[in-house]
Amino acid sequence: MAPHRTKLKHLRTWAFSLFLLLPSAGALWATPLLEIHFLYIGQGDAILIKSPAGKVAIVDAGPPSAKRILTRYLEKLQIKRVNLFLVTHPHLDHFGGWRSLQGKFKPLLYIDPAFPYPSPPYRRFLRHIRRAGIRSYTGKINQVLDLGGGVKLRVLAPRKPFLKNTRSDANSNSIVMRLEYKKLRVLLTGDAEKPTEYRLMRHPEWLPSHLLKVAHHGSHHSSSSRFLTFVRPTFAVISCGKHNRYGHPHKRALRRLHRASIKTFITARHGHVIARSNGKTLWLSIRGRSKAQALHTLQLKTLPQTYQRAISSSMANSSAAAFGGAIYNPSGPPLGQQAEKPKWYRHKLRGKTIVPPTPFPSSKGYVAAKRSSVFHRHSCRQVQHIPSKLRVYFRSRRAAIRSRRKPASDCIP
């Protein structure tokens, strides 16, 4: 017995040292990077974020015509599951391509600003989200969406009460987020307009970023020069369609970006724009090119908490009222009061940090519905009919039996 035991002990030590070695060996092959894909889907926004931990967030899904591009892109990246689908605001050019997120790409979590908006396509879309049993939350200021691997999306807007009587209340109440990963800061702005920018500038410490997703497809109602001095990005991305009827990007917005010496990419010109980062370096490439073919490489410096000089100079010669007054439009339509969002749609949120759920890690194992008295094999067809939020997973048959459930008669697990 004794020699056998020594042998076993030896084997164990050996296995343990191999286990210790593995992470460093992994680093030699390929360290997973954070990837942000600003997809060229025509006139609209669609951003795919993949954290080094493999979690996938889709921020906006473009117009309805984006469906095919999105599906193909998700397939190309071999994405198995969308952990989070976030719609910045209820305009069709930001959620229209949602049908690409059906079936195998069905998101595990849905977030939008819950801004009451009575358009029929939006209502249809919400009805689908509810019927598909996707957990949904209201995106609120100060929330943190944790994508794993150190990647966090910090929600900076909207804040209650919603902005009202602006040029476009739906746009002004867009979800604005800062993506944080080690040293990297990326600001995602939806279609936020100047009133939103003004609100954000009251918290200058939220804004400094290396990369800015330019708000509202480069319209001149956004990206004020002042706002740009608060963010001071090295790079900017404008997402818009070729020859779009809105004239996006507007030459005035482009001029402001140019004057602030921001290197600007436009999806209509460059195609998909891809940012990759390990938290220390940022690689920017276009049209699906790899990291090695990056157009720009930026060694990231830790950004100052705020750009103090910008703040004092811009605030000194402009009173808050003057800045706000110039852009508010009191005669605008009171969109915000027309319809209330149905009650079913909101889940109560506990705590500030939301971790988008991960599906059961393997296709093995057993699944049951929450209140059901039977359990199925993971591969059983019946499982697809159990809404994901009602599913209970078991790693072993024994665990399923222990939950006082019986084997289902269809797959006889």
The tokens describing 387, both together, are: 């809404």
Q: Work out whether 171 is an interface residue with Zn ion (CB under 5 A).
A: yes
One-letter identity of residue 345? Y
d(CA 55, CA 53): 6
- Coil, strand, or helix at residue 372? coil
Q: Work out whether 248 is an interface residue with Zn ion (CB under 5 A).
A: no
Q: Looking at 50-58, 88-96, 242-250, 261-269, which segment touches Zn ion (CB under 5 A)? A: 88-96
Q: Looking at 30-38, 168-176, 218-226, 366-374, which segment touches Zn ion (CB under 5 A)? A: 168-176
Task: Between 35 and 93, name the residue whose CB sits nearer to Zn ion.
Answer: 93
| Among positions 40, 55, 82, 93, the unique one binding Zn ion when judged by CB under 5 A | 93
d(CA 118, CA 339): 6
CB 188 within 8 A of CB 47: yes
| Among positions 35, 60, 169, 191, the unique one binding Zn ion when judged by CB under 5 A | 191
Q: Looking at 150-158, 188-196, 264-272, 365-373, which segment touches Zn ion (CB under 5 A)? A: 188-196
Task: Between 117 and 394, name the residue whose CB sits nearer to Zn ion.
Answer: 117
d(CA 228, CA 285): 23
Report residue 194 CA to chain centroid gap. 22
d(CA 88, CA 110): 11
User: What residues contact 11, with CB distance under 8 A and at least 6 apart?
Assistant: none
Q: How far is the CB of 214 from Zn ion (least distance, A)?
A: 11
Q: Work out whether 210 is an interface residue with Zn ion (CB under 5 A).
A: no
User: How many C-beta atoms lie closer than 10 Å to residue 299's C-beta?
Assistant: 8
Q: How far is the CB of 412 from Zn ion (least distance, A)?
A: 51
User: How many C-beta atoms lie closer than 10 Å to residue 36's C-beta?
Assistant: 27
Q: How many residues form the binding site for Zn ion (CB under 5 A)?
A: 4
Task: Between 93 and 169, name the residue whose CB sits nearer to Zn ion.
Answer: 93
| Among positions 91, 199, 210, 232, the unique one binding Zn ion when judged by CB under 5 A | 91
Q: Work out whether 88 is an interface residue with Zn ion (CB under 5 A).
A: no
- Residues at the site binding Zn ion, with contacts judged by CB under 5 A: 91, 93, 171, 191
